[in-house]
Amino acid sequence: MAMSKILIRWLVLVPLCIVLAIIALANRQMVTVHLDPTAAQPPLLPSLQVPLFMVIYGVLIAGIFLGGVATWLTQGRQRRQKRHWKGKAQRLETQQQEMREHQRREITEQQGLLESRQSP
């Protein structure tokens, strides 16, 4: 099982790294990234000269991060319900165990009473 996971990981990661390297090599030209959305004169924030592949990778990483956060936030209700039902199941299991112990004690007491009545 572990070997298949390692093999699948390598079959995905190696081609992915090759594709990312090809994208980086094909997009080495410098681009200007303006950080000031108002285009005020003089600019409030500086402009940066970065390779295009850095912009592509930055947007890709930001998208993955924001998608993960959005997924985590939307699954909050399910996590809350899971905690609720898990707690309820634990309480019911504890209650069931207590009832079984109580039942065993009653049976033992009844058997003791029967034995005491039967023996003269």
d(CA 26, CA 20): 10
Q: Does the pLDDT at position 120 exceed 70? A: no
pLDDT tens digits, one per residue of 48-99: 999 999 999 999 999 999 999 999 999 999 999 999 999 999 999 999 999 9
pTM (two decimals): 0.61
pLDDT tier for residue 113 given thresholds of 50, 70 and 90: confident
Q: Does the pLDDT at position 47 exceed 70? A: yes
pLDDT tier for residue 110 given thresholds of 50, 70 and 90: confident
If we measure between CA atoms, which residue out of 32, 21, 30, 29 comes closest to residue 57?
A: 21
